[in-house]
Amino acid sequence: MEKERRLIQIRIQRLKEKIPVSKDNLKDLLKNGLFLFILFFSILFLITIKTHLVSGNSMLPTLQNKDRLFVVKNKEPKRYALVTFQPREKQGESYVKRVIGIPGDRIWMDQNTVYLNHQMAATNPTPPNEKNLSGVELPDGTLKVRVTWEVAAKLKGMSTIPSNSFFVLGDNRKNSTDSRELGLIDQDKIEGVVTFRYYPLARLGLIE
């Protein structure tokens, strides 16, 4: 009995003793930890972020041709945010534009001219008929945009922008293919919200 008790005490004592870690073992632990850390954030990056190469000058002066961007996937587009999307009519392509109209915004038509206003109630009357110009902001904040007749036919009868739909424009409106030709952009076609320009390095930074 005494012998068994002695053996138990010896085992307990050994468990209490600290086992020294060699420098080689410590280096291996640090390397493995760093590898797992990098692997985790690489997977997280691939899941939540995509890249976009700007093609053309439709977003001047905000973005320039060949700018490279980080885009956050599945982020809810806010008004005036930059988004990338796949136009329904041009499979395989990706555009970057600015969100001007969001679901619930007041929208009405005058022939092929669209009026957008997020501040006016749906009962407000149509503003006076002025010259049809692309992207004119009227004194009350209403945006007046001329669209193609095909888009006008699709928007006819709408009083508000439907849910999961967005009206987008290029910042360089004289040289941009956007909702004036493409119509409203469905949310399931939006790839994400532009957050950061990583190239060229001279213009590196967050995108407002």
* pLDDT reported for residue 37: 67
Q: Residue 127's Cα: distance from chain center in Å?
A: 33
- Whether the CB-CB separation of 42 and 166 falls below 8 Å is answered with no
What are the structure tokens assigned to 11, written together? 């085992």
CA distance 71 to 75: 9
Q: Residue 19 burial (CB < 10 Å; 0-12/13-18/19+)?
A: exposed
Spans in the chain with pLDDT lower than 70: 1-26, 28-29, 35-37, 39-42, 44-45, 119-136, 139
Strand positions, DSSP E, 89-184: 95-101, 106-110, 113-117, 136-137, 143-146, 165-169
Measuring CA to CA, which residue among 127, 126, 116 is closest to residue 160?
116
Whether residue 87 is preceded by a cis peptide bond, meaning omega within 30 degrees of 0, is no
Domains within the chain, CATH numbers bracketed: 50-206 (2.10.109.10)
Residues annotated catalytic, as ranges: 58, 97
What are the structure tokens assigned to 94, written together? 């990706």
- Maximum alpha-carbon separation in the chain: 107
Signed CA dihedral, 32, 38, 39, 44: sign only: positive
CA distance 174 to 135: 9
Helix, strand, or coil (residue 83): strand
CA distance 83 to 76: 10
* pLDDT reported for residue 151: 95
